[in-house]
Amino acid sequence: MKFLRNLLAAILGCLIAIGIIFMMFLIFASLVGSSDDGVTVKSNSVLELQLQLPISDYAGNNEADPFGGIFEKSQGLDEILKAIAVAKNDDDIKGISINNNFMIAGMAQTQAIRKALKDFKEDGKFVYAYGDFYMQKDYYLASVADAIYLNPVGGMEFKGLASEVLFYKDFQEKTGVKMEVIRHGKYKSAVEPFLSNEMSDANRTQIQELINSLWGSMVVEISEGRNLNEQALNTIADTLGGRSPKLAVASGLVDELLFFDEYEAKLREALSLNEDDDLNTILLEDYVIRSNKKNKAKGKDRIAVIYAQGEILYGEGSQETIGQGIMTEAIRKAKDNEAVKAIVLRVNSPGGNALTSDIIWREIELAKESKPVVVSMGNVAASGGYYIAVGADKIFAEPTTITGSIGVFGTIPNITELAENIGINAEQVGTNKNSVDYSLFEPMTPAFRSVVQEGIEEVYDTFLERVSQGRNITMAEADSLAQGRVWSGVDAKRLGLVDELGGLNDAIAAAAELAEIEAYGIRKYPKYKSGFEKLMEDLGGVRLNAQQSFIEEEIGTEAYTILKQMKSAMEQKGIQARMPFVLNIK
C-alpha cells in the first residue's frame, strides 16, 4: 500500500511539473510573439468569420492575462461586434468572408452579428458568404452578404422554425421517480412536461405565436438581404425549395455553386488581385486582439456594462450562471465608481431561483438612486431574467428575444414508488408536529403542499408588484401579461413589457443620453477568474467531462438530453422563476 501511495505521489508530481513547464512555455511564447497590436494585419486583407465556438454574450477575457482567451470555451459576442466595428474603419480590411457552418448561438446573438455586418457594408466594403452546408441560423446570418455561395455537393435547410418540448409523465411512472409540482393556480404551462404526456392547447398556442413572430422577423431581414418578397420566401420554406444546391440557386436563396478554391477566386476578384497574388486573410479570433486595443475611450466618463448570463442560481455565480454574489459585487462596484455615469445590464437568462432574482432586483433599485440603469435583453430574458430587468429606467430587446414568462413554481423530487419497488422503507421521528416536513421516500402530505403553495403565491404576488412598479402599470394589468406566457421582443414591445427594440449598442447610447454624456468608455463587469485559474479548473474537471462524454456516447444525445433535464429539475432549490420548459427551437 505504501509503495502504491508513493507511486501515485510521484506520478502526480511529474504531471504538476510538466504542467508548470508547459505554462511557462506559453507565457514565453506569448511575450516573444507579441507585437504592439498583438497581431499583424497585411494591407488589402479579408476578415474571415469562422464562428466555431459557442457564442456567449461575454467571455470575460482579460487583455493583461497571458492565459486570457487561450483556454476559452466560448467566443464573446461583445468582442465579435467590436471587431466588426473596428474592421469597418480599418484601411487594411477590405471585406469580410463568412465561412461558417453550424453556428452555436442564439437567435438574438445571430441578429446582432447580422446587424453589425450590415453596418460594415455601409461605406462600400464587401461581405461574401460561403458554406458547405447552411443550417437556417447560418443562412439567416449569411443573407446579409453581397453574395452567397454554396458547395455544389453541399446542402441547406430552409423550412421554417419548429419547437420541440419533451414530456416525462410516463417516464416518471415507469421509473418511480417523479417531480412533485406546486405552482400558481393560473400558471397553465408551468412544468407541464412533468404533469402530462402531451402539450395543452394553451401552451401550443403560445409557442406557435412565439415561433411565428421569430420567423417573421427573420423573413423580413432575409427578404431585404436577398431581394425576395416575404411570400416567396415562405413558399420556398413550404415546398422545401432550397433542399438541394441547384434548387437553392433556382429559388434565389444563393447566388452560385462553387468549390472553395473557386470561392477564393471570387475574393481575389473583389480585392482586384491577380490569380497568382496571395490572398491575405485574418481570422476573427486573431483580429480580436487588435480590435480590443482600438478605440480606447477619451475622457474620464464610463458606462458600465454588466453581463448577467445563464441560469439564476442561489450562490456566488460564475461565467455560466447568475448568482447574487458575483452580480451584487458587480452592481455595487459600478454604482460606487465615480467615473461610471450609467449602468447597462445585459440579460441573457431563462431565469431560475426567485430569491436570487429579487436580491439582484434590489441592487438595481439601489443603483438607480444615483445613476441611470438601462437593460439590454439577449437571446432570452424570461421569468427570473425578466424579474432582474424590470426595474430598469429603460428596457431594450431584440425582435427575436424571448421574454416575459412572468410566473413562479416549485418542483420537488419524490422517489416513493421507486423505494417501494426496490424494498426501501423510510421511517421518520421528530420532536414537533411539523419537524419532519418532507421526505423523498414518503408521499407529499397535504399540509406540506399547502405551506409550499402559500410560498408560491407570495412570491408570485411579489413578482407582480415588481412588474407593476417597474412598468408603471396596475397589478391587474401585470397579471394579465403574466401567467407564465412567453413573448417575442416584438410582442413584448407591443404589450409594454419592454420600451424599445434594439441591441446592446442602442441600450448603451440610451444610457449615455440619460446620463447626459457624449464622450465615454465602456467598463465591463463582472470580472471572471483568470485564464490560469480556468486552466486549473479544467484540469480538475477532466475526469468529470470524460464521464459525461462516455454516458452521452453510450445512451445517445437525445437520451442524454432528457437525463440532463431531469437532473437539472431535481437539483432545483427553492421557488423558481424560470422558463416553464426547455424550448428547443430549430
Per-domain residue ranges for the chain?
A: 45-159+240-291, 302-578
Alpha-carbon distance of 347 to 36, in angstroms, equals 34
Residue 108: predicted pLDDT: 94
CA 555 vs CA 170, 558, 560: distances in Å: 19, 8, 6
Q: Which residue has the higher pLDDT, 340 or 163?
A: 340
Which of 180-184, 387-391, 465-469 is least confident? 180-184
pLDDT tens sequence across 314-362: 999 988 899 999 999 999 999 999 999 999 999 999 999 999 999 999 9
Measured distance CA(405)–CA(390) in Å, rounded: 12
* 321 Cβ neighbours under 8 A, 6+ residues apart: 310, 311, 312, 313
Helix axes 107-120, 77-88, angle to 10 degrees: 10
What's the pLDDT band for 548 if we cut at 50, 70, 90?
low
Measured at the alpha carbon of residue 101, what is the angle toward residues 99 and 107, in degrees to the nearest 5? Answer: 105
The pLDDT value given to residue 206:
87
Q: Is the dihedral of CA 464, 467, 472, 476 positive or negative?
A: negative
The pLDDT, as a whole number, for residue 563 is 57
DSSP secondary structure letter of residue 123: G
Q: Cell digits for 270?
A: 473583389
- DSSP secondary structure string, 463-498? HHHHHHHHHT--HHHHHHT-TT-EEEHHHHHHHTSS
Grid coordinates of 396: 431594450
Q: What angle do CA 476, 480, 482 make, to 5 degrees?
A: 110
* Mean per-residue pLDDT, 100-109: 89
Residues linked to residue 246 through DSSP beta bridges, in sequence order: none
Phi, psi dihedral angles at 164 (to 5 degrees):
-125, 130
Is the model's pLDDT at 441 over the cut of 80?
Answer: yes
Which residue is catalytic, options 376, 383, 405, 488? 383
Least confident span in 92-96, 263-267, 426-430, 501-505: 426-430
| 45-159+240-291 and 302-578 in the same fold | yes
Q: Are 79 and 540 in contact (CB under 8 A)?
A: no
Q: Count Cβ neighbours within 10 Å for each residue of 24-39 and write b for 16 or more, e otherwise.
A: eebeeeeeeeeeeebb
Residue 268 carries which side chain, given as an amino acid letter?
R
Radius of gyration over every alpha carbon of the chain, rounded to an integer in angstroms: 26
Catalytic-labelled residue, pool 88, 178, 188, 371: 188
- Residue 576 pLDDT more than 80? no
Angle in degrees, CA 525, 344, 354, rounded to 5: 80
pLDDT at position 192, please? 83
pLDDT of 532 above 70 = no
Q: Is there a catalytic annotation at residue 189?
A: no
pLDDT band at residue 283 under the 50/70/90 scheme: very high
Number of other residues whose CB lies within 10 A of the CB of residue 262: 14
Section 520-537 average pLDDT: 72
Cβ–Cβ under 8 Å, residues 463 and 355 = no
Q: How confident is the model at residue 501 (pLDDT cuts 50, 70, 90)?
A: very high
3-state secondary structure of 368: helix
> Residue 96: pLDDT band by 50, 70, 90 thresholds?
very high
Instruction: Based on the residue annotation, tell me whether 371 is a catalytic residue of this protein.
Output: no
pLDDT at 573: 58
CATH topology of domain 45-159+240-291: 2-enoyl-CoA Hydratase; Chain A, domain 1 (3.90.226)
Q: What is the pTM of this model?
A: 0.84
For residues 87 and 119, what is the distance between their CA atoms, to the nearest angstrom?
11
Percentage of the chain exceeding pLDDT 70: 80
- Return the pLDDT at 570: 53
Q: Which of 1-15, 116-130, 313-327, 351-365 has the lowest mean pLDDT?
A: 1-15
What would the mean pLDDT of 112-133 be, rounded to a whole number? 96
pLDDT tens digits for range 197-237: 888 888 888 889 999 999 999 999 999 999 999 999 999 99
CATH of domain 302-578: 3.90.226.10
What pLDDT was estimated at residue 32? 43
Q: Considering only CA atoms, which of 299, 304, 297, 294 is closest in space to residue 512? A: 304
Mean pLDDT of the chain: 85
- Please count the CA atoms within 13 angstroms of the CA of 214 that sit on its side-chain side: 29
CA distance 89 to 120: 9
